[in-house]
Structure 1
Amino acid sequence: MGITEIISNIRFLMLPVIIIIGVEFLLIALYYFYRRRQLDKKQIPIKKLILGAIFVGYIVFVLELTIIGRGTSHYMQMNLQPFSGYIDAWKKYSLRDLQNCLFNILMFVPLGILLPLLIAKFKEFKWLLLVVVGATVTIETYQTLTGAGIFELDDLMNNSLGGIFGYQLYRLAASITHNKKVKMKSLIGNLAIPLLMGLIFLCMNIVYAQKEFGHLAINAYTKSNMSDVKVSTSLELSSASTVAPVYKKIIKNENVEDLLQQKLGLSQVNTQDDKGSGEILVEDKDGVPYTLTKNDAEGQWWLTDNNYTPEQTSVTVQEEKAKSLMDKLSILPQDAEFTVQENGEFEWKLPDRPHLKRDYWTGDIELGLKQDGRVYSLAYSLHENQFIREVDILSPVVVYERIKKGEFPQIKYNALVQEEDLVIKKGDQIEIESIELSHMYDTKGFYQPIYNVSGKFNGNDWFTLIQARK
């Protein structure tokens, strides 16, 4: 889940929270109106009432995130491996995977701030920690028993860390209020958690930058327990050491707008850019609107006529027009496989050829033409694989041994397969039918060799991917 999606979900969940807090503020106003007429009665301080209202809204928000409206796809599942979320994020070098860990920390920060402000007893750290840990254990246990989630040790650690950080922020604010100034010792001490995490992330980035190659997402897995699991194969596996090539993905970020202006006469109208990947409205000399969608990170772009509906045309006539237009655009780096698709569009394809051990282009270009020969769709998805060097790789025998030891990721091999179906259990059977060399892009854009291992898992089609490079 990306940042945009998270923000969108939070906005949706915040609506009932805002309504509840609004109702509470209305009740507080009515309470003070009534109490003002009862002069002999002691009033509850307005500050505590407001904090209490915010606290109730916060509790509702947490319950929405963790309990209310969640599905029941996980039954009695637990992940007690410490730091597994951080390990997965590191192996994938993925901010998206790290987001979940950080969000679980931030979710409990308000609890560490609000509790000491509301109840004096929780100004003592031991009582606050007890509530934070107790609340997390309660949520995790409920999710496990109801199937709404998995009991994860990481969640317990992250939530507790968030509560402690919130308490430190409260202590820092209290120190500044009491001393009327910021003490460096108090500042450093109470910001120890984010400072420590920042230092860790800095060191991780330094280590990552020093590595020649990036990380492969398939390496982010928890080792399976293979006790009483039968693994077999009829293959004759080689134990000989061998090598395989590694390539680097090279993105050619050409100025697409200038190309379309010069070759097709399309001029830009406006831009909706989002960090290099956005939509640009362009039009031809007759004012026909097109949308140019770009993904600069991948070197891809798509041009589409906003109002045109494809029609059946003479393929023979259009084929010559398509080839002529492609020559005019000069965006094919070399000869490609030309095909006419069933929908009447044309495709030029450069197949993946990692066996060449030299630089090569791969990807495809798709073109759709109107009856008059003008473009109604053009999709560019080509990039260059630059040969780096050959690396030593594991032998098929070693790969098979890794399968037997449970050192492989369980990949969802079918859309109907549930996560619980992928958990290796006592009595399961895995039959290996093929171990083939393939390639996969890592987090630095290197095209690394991997093994595609396929066969049967309890009689069903199954496969997994294992890094081939030693």
Structure 2
Amino acid sequence: MGITEIMSNIKILMLPVIIIIGLEFLLIGLYFFYYQRRRSDHQKQIPVKKLLLGAIFIGYIVFVLELTVIGRGTSHFMQLNLQPFSGYIDAWKKYSLRDLQNCLFNILMFVPLGMFLPLLMAKCKEFKWLLLVVVGATASIETYQALSGAGIFELDDLINNSLGGIIGYQLYKLIASMAHNKKVKVKSLIGNLAIPLLMGLIFIVMNIVYAQQEFGHLAINAYTKSKMSDVHVSTSLELSAAPIVAPVYKKIIQEDDVKDLLQQKLGLSEMNVSDVKDNDETLVEDKNGVAYTLVTNNSEGQWWLTENNYTPEQISAVEQEEKAKSLMDELSILPQDAEFTVQENGEFEWTLPDRPDVTKDYWTGDVSLGLKPDGHIYSLTYSLHENQFIREVNIQSPTEIYERIKEGDFPQIKYNALVQEEDLIIKKGDQIEIESIELSYMYDTKGFYQPIYNVSGKFNDNDWFTLIQARK
């Protein structure tokens, strides 16, 4: 779950929390109005601040339960992940901000708990009691998720939630120290912020290490080795053990201003701009007032131009072929060696196949153009990029890949939506038959196009495949 999705969910979940807290405040107000009028002088008054704090705390508990317990599905019955720091390891291997955000969110979610408890419970001003409550709370949530199928019991979540509670407690101690001493003591500041500072330092070091690496990380490397005892792995392939090299490329994104291009070549003018997730969406119109929507994905160098409210008609594409080629020549957005094909409904496509077997730069992708019967454009899609040759690297041989599979050093990939996670766990007695080991390519986190092996075959008589990094 990315930060945008997290924030969207938080906005939805906050509504009942706000309503509950509002009702609590109303009840507190009514209680004090009634209590102040009827209480006797010897009766002890309940502090208003503590009641208000308790009301907010209840709202916070409801919010946490909404995130972790209420309304979740039941697709993970009795699943456990007891590998510590697996989330951080996966985030590093994939260099994924999304995965790291999930870890940090689990920490932040329990920071308020570490601050509320010592304010509401005198016993929790002692660290040992606070830690016991925090660990007990997160363990209860994880146990419920595992028993109900609402989630996986993850040791990582237990660690992150507890860490959040500890950070919250340290913040409470820091604020209490500042309030008591009327000033900030450096020793207290450093001591109580030690964990966040240490985590920040670790992240800085990780980024420095990553920046120094020539290539990025491949998402397929985020896995845990399988136990292969009593697992039968076989193949009828004749595997080569000879040393092999393969080229590595770098994806080059063209940063030309699409709007200027379309304005100059097609006479389109901008009307309105909006952001839709990772894309920029622009409303444009031509000289005749016909409205189009231009969607650009700057991170991928792709864009789509579509006429609004137009339904493609069946026309003779042959008659429009020369017009289509002429328009593309005028736009000057195609490499010369693109393969031209005629589609249906007045659509034409220019394709540049992926060919990562050459030691030179090459273009890949496609461009499609849709024309109306009168020869005007109703759609134009650009999805081309250049792969720049970097150098050849030594890669593992098919024999080495086969040995890796025998050792369980490969990811188990969910090859279709019907496969459950538990079906991918390799157990004693399982059989893997390797039918093909083919060289393929995948982009890493730095945009390098790296060689990988696509290994396919049978897993317990079911179709199966995995992807393994080829570079040594």
1:10: which partner in 2? 10
The DSSP-based 3-state class of the residue aligned with 1:12 is helix
The DSSP-based 3-state class of the residue aligned with 2:76 is coil
Amino acid across the alignment from 1:26: L
Asked if 1:442 is matched to 2:444, the reply is yes
Deviations 1:262-313 (A, max 9, x none): 1101011222247983111111011111111111111111111112121111
1:365: which partner in 2? 367
Amino acid across the alignment from 1:366: S
Q: Assess if the C-alpha contact under 8 Å between 2:313 and 2:345 holds in 1.
A: no
The DSSP-based 3-state class of the residue aligned with 2:38 is coil
2:326: which partner in 1? 324
Deviations 1:378-398 (A, max 9, x none): 110000001111100001111
How much has 1:334 moved relative to structure 2?
Answer: 2.4
Q: Assess if the C-alpha contact under 8 Å between 2:317 and 2:345 holds in 1.
A: no
Distance in 2 of aligned mates of 1:108 and 1:190: 16
2:84: which partner in 1? 82
Amino acid across the alignment from 2:117: L
- Larger mean CA deviation between 275-284 and 343-352 belongs to 275-284
2:141: which partner in 1? 139
Q: Assess if the C-alpha contact under 8 Å between 1:74 and 1:420 holds in 2.
A: no
Amino acid across the alignment from 1:102: L
Amino acid across the alignment from 1:172: L
1:22: which partner in 2? 22
Q: Which segments of structure 1 move beyond 3 Å, counting only runs of 4 or more?
A: 273-277
Deviations 1:15-74 (A, max 9, x none): 111111111111101110110122313221111111111111111111111111111111
Q: Assess if the C-alpha contact under 8 Å between 1:366 and 1:379 holds in 2.
A: yes
TM-score, structure 1 length as denominator?
A: 0.98
Deviations 1:217-263 (A, max 9, x none): 00000111112211111111111111000000011111111110111
Deviations 1:304-337 (A, max 9, x none): 1112121111111122211111111110022211
Amino acid across the alignment from 1:336: A
Aligned partner (choices 339, 345, 351) of residue 337 of structure 1: 339
Distance in 2 of aligned mates of 1:406 and 1:135: 36
1:164: which partner in 2? 166
Distance in 2 of aligned mates of 1:256 and 1:172: 52
Q: Assess if the C-alpha contact under 8 Å between 2:320 and 2:346 holds in 1.
A: no
Q: Assess if the C-alpha contact under 8 Å between 1:283 and 1:289 holds in 2.
A: yes
Asked if 1:91 is matched to 2:72, the reply is no
Distance in 2 of aligned mates of 1:406 and 1:229: 10
Q: Assess if the C-alpha contact under 8 Å between 2:79 and 2:153 holds in 1.
A: yes
Q: Assess if the C-alpha contact under 8 Å between 2:434 and 2:458 holds in 1.
A: yes
1:221: which partner in 2? 223
Distance in 1 of aligned mates of 2:16 and 2:277: 32
Q: Assess if the C-alpha contact under 8 Å between 1:136 and 1:160 holds in 2.
A: yes
Deviations 1:78-122 (A, max 9, x none): 111111100100011010011110011001001000001111111
Structure 2 regions of 5+ residues with no counterpart?
none
Residues 194 and 427 from structure 1, CA distance in 2 versus in 1: closer, same or farther, beyond 3 angstroms? Answer: same
The two structures, once aligned, show a CA RMSD in angstroms of: 1.2
The DSSP-based 3-state class of the residue aligned with 1:70 is coil
Structure 1 regions of 5+ residues with no counterpart?
none
Distance in 1 of aligned mates of 2:226 and 2:471: 21
Distance in 2 of aligned mates of 1:278 and 1:319: 31
